[in-house]
Amino acid sequence: MTHVTNTNSLDASAKHALKHEKSHCGQITSVRGSIIDVYFGDYLPPIHSELITGANKQIIIEVLAHQDAQHIRGIALTPTQGLARGMTVEDAGAPLKAPVGKGTLSRMFDVFGQPIDHEGELTDIEWRSVHNEPPSLTERSTQSEIFATGIKVIDVLVPLERGGKAGLFGGAGVGKTVLLTEIIHNMVGKQKGVSIFCGIGERCREGEELYREMKEAGVLPDMVMVFGQMNEPPGSRFRIGHVALTMAEYFRDDEHRDVLLLIDNIFRFIQAGSEISGLMGQMPSRLGYQPTMATELASLEERIANTENGAITSIQAVYVPADDFTDPAAVHTFSHLSASIVLSRQRASEGLFPAIDPLQSNSKMATPGIVGERHYRLAQDVRKTLAQYSELKDIIAMLGLEQLAPADRAVVGRARRLERFLTQPFFTTEQFTGLSGKLVSLEDALDGCERILNDEFKDYPESALYMIGAIDEATVKMKSAAGKDKEQSNSKQDEVPSEHAS
């Protein structure tokens, strides 16, 4: 095997020096991309230990495996430029640690807990290991509570669970990040909790834009941001989620506050694990994913829980490769979630934002015992109406709307008005759309759906219900549109006599 040959290449004096080194030092025997093999003497650092090497001690390695009695294999959390065989490696004597405490609020961090926002040194913090056990079953809360977001289509059809995990599923460019930033804006503005945004393998442009937007919105004082960017090594992207969870656990367990943990994107966590697995030489599993994917994902997801002290509620964007929901990454992520919000490219192309597919999305909270009888009945009626419209679309495309029975035409009218009512202007997109954002209470959203289902708005044009907040805004929109039409017709009548006179 490779490591035996590499060890033999070390001369006897070097081995002897290493054996009697008191500071637990080792020597690099091979470098393959981000995977480093290190020879130690009689002492082997434990799994997850942090090792330090490089000319300026700037390269950090995490121990992943013990190859034999004298070799470890580790993954570099930093770029490995400048590393060479024979270089000395020091054992830091501890695993990777993250800063926790009030001093982390309003700051932005990398995987090592170093601030990357140029706002000065950290104060009022302590350091804790990122490798923690999930809370035991006896510590978990058994109550089911709804987590309101202020977004109509989510609160009515896909209610989120306080202390639960919700997934935002969608391909590239259908609005996952926009929806996440809107939920942060609504939550921090409305509740006294803490928001933690964890960017796993995302573009640095998105991180910079999010930081600026949150600062302008005034919600940064109750936020922490951590980023393992797209250009960073797989080890860094793999561990950034554990760093964010360690910070979240502090606010839940020590300060007894509710935490909203937003992860963008959990698929990149699986992808980083897949890269590490391949570099480590493990046999790939189905579709090339790592054989340990289920365990790695569970070790992260199980730490997100609702306890007697507080709750960590998580909303996770999940990139679905090629929009294929049978992909192992999507399937394994589904199994951990209490709600699945599926974003549809079809709805996005029709301008129905947020582009949530109401028929594919679901929530385990949508039961009469949790949301109440009225909410459950209305949600079912909305789904039924939209499902009937979906079935009629083919007939409409072939024969036209006029060929439908009157009852079916009424269903189509209701469904199209419901689709438009469930759109909503966002605060975070005001600069792009020119429409001021709306925060809609659950009661207003249910009231609007009920009135549309009762045909109260059947004489209103569909556009009156598009991009509004509460349903009463449709009436205001109609009146203002009627006023504009009246003004235009009056101005045209004024123009006609003057032409005749000339």
**Residues noted as catalytic:** 176, 202-203
Cα–Cα distance measured from residue 351 to residue 419, given in angstroms and rounded to the nearest whole number? 11
| CA atoms of 245 and 105, how far apart (whole Å) | 14
- Give me the half-sphere count of Cα atoms (radius 13 Å) on the Cβ side of residue 87: 20
List Cα–Cα distances, 329 to 111, 180, 228, in angstroms: 23, 20, 19
How far is it, in rounded angstroms, from Cα 379 to Cα 396?
25
CA distances (Å), origin 424, targets 4, 462, 468: 63, 14, 6
C-beta of residue 154 within 8 angstroms of C-beta of residue 327: no
Distance, in Å, from the CA atom of 323 to the CA atom of 365, rounded to the nearest integer, reads 25
**Structure tokens of 21?**
């080194």
Which tokens in the block code for residue 445?
A: 């959203």
Alpha-carbon Rg of the chain, whole angstroms?
A: 28
Q: In 3D, which of 305, 270, 30 has the Cα closest to residue 142?
A: 305
67-101 burial, b at 16+ Cβ within 10 Å, e below that, comes to beebbbbbbbbbebeebeeebbbbbbeebbbbbbb
Starting at the edge strand found earlier in the chain, the sheet holding 194-200 runs: 108-109, 223-228, 194-200, 259-264, 312-319, 165-170, 339-342, 362-363
How many CB atoms are closer than 10 A to CB 291?
A: 12
The CA distance from 260 to 314, in Å, is 6
User: How is residue 182 written in tokens?
Assistant: 């809107």
Rounded distance between C-alpha atoms, residue 109 and residue 240, angstroms: 10
Which is nearest to 334 in space by CA: 360, 373, 308? 360
- CA 351 to chain CA centroid, Å, is 23
Is the N-terminal amide bond of 354 cis, ω within 30° of 0? yes
| CA 212/CA 414 separation, integer angstroms | 40
Quote the tokens at residue 96.
């990777």
